[in-house]
Every structure is written in structure tokens, then in C-alpha cells.
């Protein structure tokens, strides 16, 4: 072992860098200045609030189209026989659905309600896939009579479909939903015919033997927010093995494989390390994984690939504009603008690492179903001269569980200040509820930069108009 000593070399690297660079090297730093979002697609957040009130869902048409085009290009550039269905359950606003329809997406409906909504919007029945584990007979009868594809989920439903098809004038195309183990946990065992124990092949054989049915699709949906693209490759390989078995034993080559949805948006679950762009694989990684399996087949045996996506396409197009209704807890008065007092305050905040200040918002878990799982980003709509510090974001409900974020990094703000919560485009508007408040207005910023109302705020008349008062209780 050499005993030569080499003293440390001191360079002037740090001296050449701006003072802000030290902030970036400190993993515990909250930054020198707080980030803010003054505008959405060029429209000032303050103007949106003035025009439509708060809380307010805002959707970006430009982002919706960009996500649709990026996904289409990722798959079709690798595998031309790709088709896409928009998941109505993720967001069934007319304006959102029509954007995807204009981009060439068909409709993935999870219920008779969503099927009827798609038909009302002008989708042809052949442009609709009817999914769901509990389809009433009336919904099946309508969908089958009109020519939609019904994806059968269970044995009881298969019996209903057979009964309805018996009276049909021509064979009816159907799909089978499969339970496929791809290594993702937990498995969604609620849905479909199990592949591993032969149940799926037995169901397929029964469909193929029925002259009034034609097996068009093998379908699986392996979960949601799937961060492992290879899981889809596993699903594709297992489904192709079943497809081969059906052909060899029953003489029918299934023309379509449907890999469902589950692709993530660029967002973080609670407890995940960011940034989200680093944690979430790009759509090209999923396209690579899936299409590599299909392209290994001879060209004439390659199936139509269908995807049914929702969150990946709409989540990042959605914002919620909310207003601070009250400030709770202790309020530090020191500025973190660079003076000694500000630095001392910041050190105290870092040591405690606990939110002592709370902002009560006019939007809570009544509008943000996904806040239970996702770390929704909050940004003020104006610049401030204070560094971010830990705060808790409360909703307006009379419930202790109404917490949007247990801890968020925000500057000192005042009652009346606006925040934007993002991304919130997936599921939240569909699953928002009328608890204490009616549901709020919803707007879309068009590609031309114009903010348009796409759903008006609910009024008492909208809600009470559905109620009926028994005569002995008087009149309203």
C-alpha cells in the first residue's frame, strides 16, 4: 500500500457558481423562492376565478390533444394495427369525450349509463366497447342489438349474453375479460375469467361453440398506475398463448387483443420520491414492451391491438382552482428573503419539519377523490417574496378527514389567495360529490386560448329538482 500523501485539491468551482446553486445541492432545501402558476395555457388564474368562481375545474384542450397524439404515435409507429378507446369512467364530460372522439378514439363504457352517454354524443355503437362486472340485461340487450362489442366478465353474464344472442338475427361479436397474473400486486381478482386455472379457455370454448356468438377480443386490465412496462409484455405473452390454444383446440383465431389501461400519468403517490418525470416511465416504454411481443409473430397472425386508456391521457390536462378561505395555526412573521432572521426561521422549519400553519380551501375531498392516494401539487397564483414552508391544506367540509395535503411546501399566503391543484383531471370530476356543497363549475381552455364553460356550477334547484316530498309532509 503506497504511503504517499496527496493533499485535497481545492478548486474555484463553487466560487464560479451563483449563490442559488447551494440551494440545489441541499437535499433538505425548500428553495429560495416559491414556485407559482399565474396562468393556465396563457389564461390568468385570477381571470378564470373572476369569470367562473371557485372552486373551478379547468381542462386544457391542448394538453388533451398532445397526450392523445403522443400515445397514438408511440404505438402506431411501432405497430400499425393499433386502436384506442377512451375510458369514459375516468372523465365523462362531453367536451373531454368529444376531444378524444375527434382524435379517433372509440369509447370504453363501463356501464349502461356511459354507453348511453356515448351514443348521445354521436358515437356509433360499433365505436363502443361495453365493459363492467355487473351489466343489467337491459344494457346488454341494447348494446348487442345496436352492434357494440360486449366484453363478458363472468359466467352469469355469459349465460345472459347467450340467452339474448339466441334471438339475434345474426351472430354477435363479443369479448372475454381475463384475469392475468403479471406479477403486479395486488391482483384485480374481481374481474374476468382466470387464465391460470383454465377457466378462461373454458369460457372461450363455450363462446366459440355457440353459433350465435363470435369471439372477437381477449381483454385484460391488469391494474392502475402501473409503473412497470414489462408487466404489459407478460400479459401480452400469456394472452397470445391462450389465443394459440383456442385456435389449436377449437379452430378459431381471435382477431383482437385488448391490453386495457392502467398507464400512469406524470404524478406521484404519497411517499414516492420525485420528480414525477423521473419516477414515471414514458409512454414509449409501454409501447416498446407491448409491441415487441406482437411483432414477434408472423405478420398474418398479428392481432389488432386495442388499448383503453384514461388517467394517462386526461390527468395532466386537469387543474382545480381553489381559494384560501381561512388561515389556521401559528403564522411565522419572519421573511426568508436572505436576512439572518429569515435564515433562522428556515432552519427552525427544517428541524421541526411539521406543518404548523393550515390553509382552509374552498375545495376538499368532496372534489378530490384521488387526494387519498396522489400527492397533488399545490401552487399559488401569484409570486411571493417568502420561501416555501410546511403547511397543511384543509378542505371546507365539516369532517376532520377533509385534508387535501397533510404537508405541502407553500409560501406565506393570505385569505383570498388563489391556488391551483394539479394534476386532477382523472376521476375527480366524475367522482365529485354533493356533500354540503353542490359541484362546481368546469371550464375548458381551447386550443385558441379561450376559456369556455363546459359544465355550470350546480344550484339548489338542480339538486332539489330531483326530490319528491310526500304529500303528508307539506309542500315546498
Indicate whether 331 and 435 sit together in one domain.
Answer: yes
Q: What confidence score (pLDDT) does residue 28 get?
A: 45
Average pLDDT rounded to a whole number, residues 106-114: 98
Indicate whether 352 and 308 sit together in one domain.
Answer: no
Residue 11 lies inside a defined structural domain of this protein:
no
Q: What confidence score (pLDDT) does residue 320 get?
A: 98
Confidence of residue 10 (pLDDT cuts 50, 70, 90): low
Average pLDDT rounded to a whole number, residues 417-443: 97
How far is the C-alpha of 281 from the C-alpha of 289, rounded, in Å? 12
Residue 475 lies inside a defined structural domain of this protein:
no
Query: Residues 60-83: pLDDT tens digits?
Result: 999 999 999 999 999 999 999 999
Indicate whether 248 and 138 sit together in one domain.
Answer: yes
Indicate whether 441 and 366 sit together in one domain.
Answer: yes
Question: What Rg do the C-alpha atoms of the chain give, in angstroms?
Answer: 27
Indicate whether 307 and 324 sit together in one domain.
Answer: no
Indicate whether 42 and 65 sit together in one domain.
Answer: no
How far is the C-alpha of 190 from the C-alpha of 129, rounded, in Å? 19
Indicate whether 162 and 193 sit together in one domain.
Answer: yes
Residue 7 lies inside a defined structural domain of this protein:
no
Residue 476 lies inside a defined structural domain of this protein:
no
Range(s) of the domain holding residue 375: 29-57+317-456
Q: What confidence score (pLDDT) does residue 186 get?
A: 87
Indicate whether 298 and 421 sit together in one domain.
Answer: no
Which of 17-26, 262-271, 314-323, 355-364 has the least mean pLDDT? 17-26
The three-state secondary structure class of 295 is helix
Indicate whether 333 and 297 sit together in one domain.
Answer: no
How far is the C-alpha of 123 from the C-alpha of 116, rounded, in Å? 10
Indicate whether 299 and 196 sit together in one domain.
Answer: yes
Residue 339 lies inside a defined structural domain of this protein:
yes
How far is the C-alpha of 425 from the C-alpha of 319, rounded, in Å? 7
| Domain count across the chain | 2
How far is the C-alpha of 62 from the C-alpha of 449, rounded, in Å? 9
Q: What confidence score (pLDDT) does residue 1 get?
A: 53
Indicate whether 180 and 130 sit together in one domain.
Answer: yes
Among residues 297, 315, 333, the one where a domain terminates is 315
- Please report, for the domain that includes residue 46, its CATH number: 2.40.37.10
Residue 394 lies inside a defined structural domain of this protein:
yes
Among residues 279, 295, 315, the one where a domain terminates is 315
Indicate whether 96 and 176 sit together in one domain.
Answer: yes
Cβ contacts of 429 within 8 Å, gap of 6 or more: 57, 91, 93, 318, 442, 455
Query: Residues 154-209: pLDDT tens digits?
Result: 999 999 999 999 999 999 999 999 999 999 988 889 999 999 999 999 999 999 99
User: How many CB atoms neighbour CB 256 within 10 A?
Assistant: 19
- Please report, for the domain that includes residue 73, its CATH number: 3.20.20.10
Cβ contacts of 267 within 8 Å, gap of 6 or more: 276, 280, 315, 316, 374, 375, 376, 423
Amino acid at each position: 500500500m503506497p504511503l504517499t500523501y496527496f493533499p485535497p485539491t481545492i478548486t474555484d468551482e463553487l466560487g464560479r457558481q451563483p449563490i442559488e446553486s447551494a440551494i440545489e445541492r441541499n437535499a433538505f432545501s425548500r428553495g429560495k423562492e416559491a414556485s407559482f402558476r399565474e396562468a393556465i395555457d396563457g389564461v390568468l388564474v385570477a381571470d378564470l376565478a373572476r369569470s367562473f368562481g371557485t372552486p373551478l375545474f379547468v381542462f386544457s384542450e391542448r394538453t388533451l390533444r398532445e397526450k392523445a397524439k403522443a400515445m397514438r404515435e408511440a404505438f402506431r409507429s411501432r405497430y400499425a394495427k393499433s386502436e384506442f378507446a377512451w375510458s369514459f369512467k375516468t372523465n365523462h364530460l362531453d367536451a373531454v369525450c368529444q376531444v378524444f372522439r375527434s382524435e379517433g378514439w372509440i369509447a370504453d363504457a363501463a356501464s349502461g349509463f356511459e354507453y348511453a352517454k356515448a351514443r348521445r354524443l354521436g358515437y356509433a355503437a360499433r365505436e363502443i366497447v361495453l365493459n363492467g362486472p355487473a351489466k343489467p340485461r337491459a344494457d346488454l340487450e341494447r348494446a348487442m342489438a345496436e352492434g357494440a362489442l360486449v366484453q363478458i366478465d363472468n359466467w352469469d353474464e355469459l349465460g345472459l349474453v347467450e340467452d339474448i344472442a339466441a334471438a339475434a338475427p345474426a351472430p354477435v361479436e363479443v369479448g372475454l375479460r381475463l384475469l392475468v397474473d403479471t406479477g403486479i400486486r395486488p391482483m384485480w381478482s374481481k374481474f374476468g375469467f382466470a387464465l391460470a386455472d383454465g377457466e378462461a379457455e373454458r369460457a372461450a370454448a363455450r363462446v366459440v361453440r355457440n353459433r350465435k356468438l363470435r369471439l372477437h377480443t381477449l381483454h385484460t386490465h391488469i391494474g392502475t398506475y402501473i409503473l412497470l412496462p414489462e408487466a404489459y409484455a407478460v400479459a401480452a405473452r400469456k394472452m397470445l398463448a391462450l389465443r394459440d390454444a383456442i385456435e389449436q383446440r377449437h379452430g378459431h383465431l381471435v382477431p383482437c387483443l385488448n391490453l386495457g389501461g392502467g398507464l400512469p400519468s406524470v404524478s406521484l403517490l404519497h411517499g414516492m420520491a420525485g420528480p414525477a418525470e423521473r419516477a414515471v416511465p414514458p409512454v414509449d416504454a409501454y409501447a416498446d414492451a407491448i409491441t415487441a411481443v406482437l411483432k414477434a409473430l408472423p405478420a398474418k397472425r398479428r392481432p389488432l391491438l386495442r388499448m383503453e386508456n384514461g388517467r394517462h391521457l386526461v390527468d395532466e390536462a386537469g387543474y382545480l382552482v381553489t381559494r384560501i378561505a381561512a388561515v389556521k395555526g401559528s403564522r411565522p412573521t419572519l421573511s426568508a428573503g436572505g436576512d439572518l432572521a429569515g435564515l433562522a426561521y428556515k432552519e427552525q422549519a427544517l428541524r421541526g419539519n411539521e406543518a404548523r400553519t393550515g390553509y382552509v380551501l374552498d375545495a376538499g375531498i368532496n372534489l378530490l377523490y384521488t387526494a387519498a392516494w396522489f400527492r397533488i401539487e399545490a401552487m399559488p397564483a401569484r409570486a411571493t417574496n417568502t420561501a416555501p414552508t410546511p403547511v397543511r391544506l384543509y378542505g371546507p367540509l365539516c369532517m376532520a378527514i377533509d385534508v387535501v395535503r397533510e404537508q405541502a411546501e407553500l409560501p406565506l399566503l393570505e385569505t383570498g389567495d388563489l391556488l391551483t391543484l394539479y394534476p386532477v383531471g382523472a376521476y375527480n370530476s366524475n367522482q365529485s360529490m354533493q356533500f354540503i356543497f353542490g359541484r362546481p363549475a368546469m371550464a375548458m381552455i381551447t386550443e385558441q386560448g379561450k376559456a369556455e364553460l363546459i359544465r355550470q356550477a350546480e344550484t339548489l334547484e338542480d339538486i332539489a329538482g330531483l326530490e319528491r316530498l310526500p304529500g303528508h309532509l307539506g309542500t315546498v
